[in-house]
Amino acid sequence: MQDITDLAFMQMLSEYGCPDYYVTEYFRVYANSNLDKNILKSITCNTTGRPVFAQLIGEGIPDMLRIAQQLTKYPIAGIDLNLGCPAPRVYRKNVGGGLLRELETIERIFEALRSQISGLFTVKMRVGFDSIANFEKLLELINQYQIDLLSLHGRTVKELYRGAVHYDLIRQAVQTVNCPVLANGNITSYLKAEAVLQETGAAGVMIGRSAIRNPWIFQQIRDRFAGQPVKVITLADVHDYIQHLFAITSQDNFREKSHVNSLKKFLNFIGTGIDAEGKFLAGMRLVQSKQELFDLCDRHLLTNPDHPFAIEPYENLVARPSCEASCETSENPILHNAHSAA
């Protein structure tokens, strides 16, 4: 997830239960672009013990090849191509999900990268741009260019994160392509992960936004598949998590108000599981200082600290993400046949 899954967030997740592997924020590829130093740190300084895939977004083939070649000098698990970002400011530049309108361009990119990438070459995409008219052809290209793994969000770009996820199309992909498929889209809990895997037959799930709301989700999935008791998360646990987030997002050049406001991109998701009435969310969007923030947290999380945090987001509450897009997430077979990624 752009502006979310940096090194600090990856390291923090490892304390709650790592996914099987990580995907970086995307490296923007364009003429004269260089490797983003902060994103590169999530590869070079990563101590989680999990593989990290380097994610690219762009359309210029010479520059894509140049950046991919540079990345091979670092300890990456593979190269991941973003064909799914639904942010309008991204797809209007004809990258990310915008490329799903241009099958010929995708084919040229696949051909160029596949010929140059000696390791794993993975793709993250949606089922189409504004329709599924090209979906079957996209799956053919996945096979033709021997993509090693497909992470598939079961919505079109235009559907953003609204409405039902087309899990039937993910099942179709599983039955069509020759590589493992990770199901993505509304994997909101360990129970939802289990249900989606049963419905789609996917090799695993990719999780993005739900890992912001519930960083325990990967360990919960792992325990569920292992037949072990699944940890019940309490409001006190969530209070500790918010304190943890505040600590890892601190920067020397941040004024307090800016720091608190930057934390809201996380709290927008966390708040959907705190109270059904949305009182925490409403109050959080008004706070401007650390004192106000943690007074709010104390009222909503420590008054009844043993109360369970909702397994699923409350249906009537909607997060308002300030981040650019979800790195669907991300979301190494260790859960029987199920993978999890962020």
Active site residues: 85
Residue 152's nearest CA partner among 185, 130, 119, 121 is 185
Per-residue b/e over 301-319, b at no fewer than 16 CB within 10 Å?
A: beeeeeeebbbebbeebeb
d(CA 103, CA 209): 28
d(CA 190, CA 188): 7
> What count of other Cβ atoms lies within 10 Å of the Cβ of residue 80?
27
Residue 67's nearest CA partner among 96, 39, 32 is 32
Residue that the structure tokens 């091979």 belong to: 72
Residues 278 and 314: beta-carbon distance below 8 Å:
yes
The pair of structure tokens assigned to 201 is: 């037959």
Residue 317's nearest CA partner among 259, 268, 264 is 268
Phi, psi torsion values for 38, nearest 5 degrees: -70, -40
Quote the distance between the C-alpha of residue 287 and its chain's center: 27
d(CA 311, CA 321): 20
The pair of structure tokens assigned to 197 is: 């895997």
The pair of structure tokens assigned to 90 is: 């991204």
φ/ψ region of 96 (left if φ > 0, alpha if ψ in -120 to 50, else beta) reads left
d(CA 265, CA 128): 27
Residue 152's nearest CA partner among 137, 130, 174 is 174
